[in-house]
A and B are shown apart, each in its own frame.
Chain A
Amino acid sequence: MTGPGSHRRRNILILLILTSITLITLDTRGGNSGIGGRIRNTARDAFAPIQDGIDSALHPIENWWDGVTRSGDIKDENQRLRRELQQARGAATAGRNARRQIEELSKLASLPFAPTMPGVDAQIILGSPGNFESTVGLNKGSGQGLAPDMPVVSGEGLLGRLARVSRRRSTVLLLTDKDSAVGVRDVRTGDRGVLNGNPDSALQRLDSIDVKALVKAGDELVTVGSAEGPYPPDIPVGRIVAVEHPPGALAARITVRLYADANHTEYVRVLQYPVTP
């Protein structure tokens, strides 16, 4: 263990650790415009055409698989009928998918909120490649006018904000991510709070709200908006589903169901906010 082999081994280990620490430090300090950000953007753009191709190829397979998994009890039918049924269901799924896409695009075309704010419509093409973050990938990037921190909405409401943007791709940090927080206002009472991301549940927690707040289940929440923050005011966020007062607790436990759900959304609009003159 003390020969030249073990020396080389130790040197490699030390080199890996020092290189990693240097990269982590540079990336943490540099952000999207630092050397780490530039490496990321270049690599993401380089892989974008491959991802596009695979995404297109996987769509029909997903439709077919959807048809197979929803086929129910067809044990008594022969092989040919099964195949035809699956194909028909795959086609039906594709048709339903097309109708849903049109509905989503129609909603985006006539957004009831932020009607005058310029925006770029984009398609969600990827989920997160990792396990510790709630993100989705969009097929548009800085080449189409997108920039980090711009808010992203679906036809239902706020979905999140852009965390990373390369020339052809961008990544949305969803409201459900643990690292996400958005200031919200109760439309009925005007009370303000902070909605912190909770990836474990479909329901989110409303925190930092006045202990005397008069919010109740059913109240709608919209973004507060601020000059410094990434979100414009009055974008629908969600609806309060429960207000509990645990014995001994200082503040009420308020749970919120978000309007926008990335799992059931394909098209989104990136709002170009703050609007530059």
Chain B
Amino acid sequence: MMLRFGRLALMLVLLVVLQTAVFPHVRVADVVPDLGLVAAVAIAVRYGPELGAIFGFVAGLASDVFLQTPLGLSALAFGLTAYFVGMLQQSLARPAWWMNPLVATTAGIVAGALYVGLGALVGQQQLFVLRSVRIILLAGVYDGVVALVIFPLAIAAARPRVPATIGGAGY
């Protein structure tokens, strides 16, 4: 158990470094992907909504530290998105690997919409503009692209020592 959380913590630090020090240099169409969200969604799809939501919350909190919006806003958006993706996945067959970008793109758009909507509710009205729609869509596509790398990485980092039973939450 400790080893698993150690791996997840290490991956979180790696994602924060990439998000804050590398991806600002490689903006595409002026957007960056949400690496923490993509990892949380991968974990939710593979290991269930609880672990996905907790990882999403912590990863969102780590993102919030480097943003101007209130601490907890990304955490809430990422945690809720991972939770609902995990819940939805449990009632469906596990997606094939080539579906991962589609799942990540959809999750990115949902998380972006939650971020903007919840942000406007807590006084961040500057987020509630037409420009945000373009950003959410483009960032969602970027999330889908990085999912090709982040999904296997996150699933490997969150793998329990005893293999998960078929249909179980896995932790």
**Which of A's residues lie within 8 Å of B, judged by CB?**
5, 8-9, 12-13, 16-17, 19-24, 26-28, 36, 39-40, 43-44, 47, 50-51, 54-55, 58, 62, 126-133, 135, 163-164, 171, 173, 177-179, 199-200
Say how far B110's CB is from chain A's closest CB, in angstroms: 15
Q: Could you list 14 A-B pairs, sorted by A, with CB under 8 Å?
A: A8-B50, A16-B76, A16-B80, A23-B70, A23-B72, A36-B71, A39-B71, A44-B65, A126-B20, A129-B24, A130-B68, A131-B135, A135-B68, A178-B126
Q: Which residues of A contact B50 (CB under 8 A)?
A: 8-9, 12
Q: Which residues of A contact B63 (CB under 8 A)?
A: 129-130
The answer to whether A44 and B66 have CB atoms under 8 Å apart is yes
The answer to whether B19 and A16 have CB atoms under 8 Å apart is no
> CA of A173 to CA of B21 in the docked complex: distance in angstroms?
18
Of A17, A23, A47, A200, the residue contacting B20 (CB under 8 A) is: A47
Say how far A247's CB is from chain B's closest CB, in angstroms: 24
B interface residues, tally (CB under 8 Å): 49
The answer to whether A132 and B70 have CB atoms under 8 Å apart is no
18 A-B pairs besides A12-B83, A20-B72, A129-B67 with CB distance below 8 A are A5-B169, A12-B50, A13-B53, A13-B80, A21-B72, A28-B122, A28-B123, A36-B71, A39-B71, A43-B62, A126-B20, A129-B19, A129-B23, A130-B63, A130-B68, A132-B116, A178-B131, A199-B131
**Which of B's residues lie within 8 Å of A, judged by CB?**
16-17, 19-25, 27, 31-32, 49-50, 53-54, 57, 61-63, 65-73, 75-76, 79-80, 83, 87, 112, 115-116, 119, 122-123, 126-127, 129, 131-132, 135, 139, 169
The answer to whether B20 and A179 have CB atoms under 8 Å apart is no
Q: Which residues of A contact B69 (CB under 8 A)?
A: 130, 132-133
The answer to whether A17 and B76 have CB atoms under 8 Å apart is yes
The answer to whether A20 and B68 have CB atoms under 8 Å apart is no
Of B24, B68, B122, B123, the residue contacting A164 (CB under 8 A) is: B68
Say how far A201's CB is from chain B's closest CB, in angstroms: 10
The answer to whether B21 and A51 have CB atoms under 8 Å apart is yes
Say how far B128's CB is from chain A's closest CB, in angstroms: 10
Say how far B80's CB is from chain A's closest CB, in angstroms: 7
Q: Which residues of B contact A58 (CB under 8 A)?
A: 22, 25
A-B pairs with lowest CB-CB distance, top 8? A23-B72, A20-B76, A178-B126, A127-B24, A27-B71, A54-B21, A24-B72, A36-B71
> CA of A9 to CA of B79 in the docked complex: distance in angstroms?
12
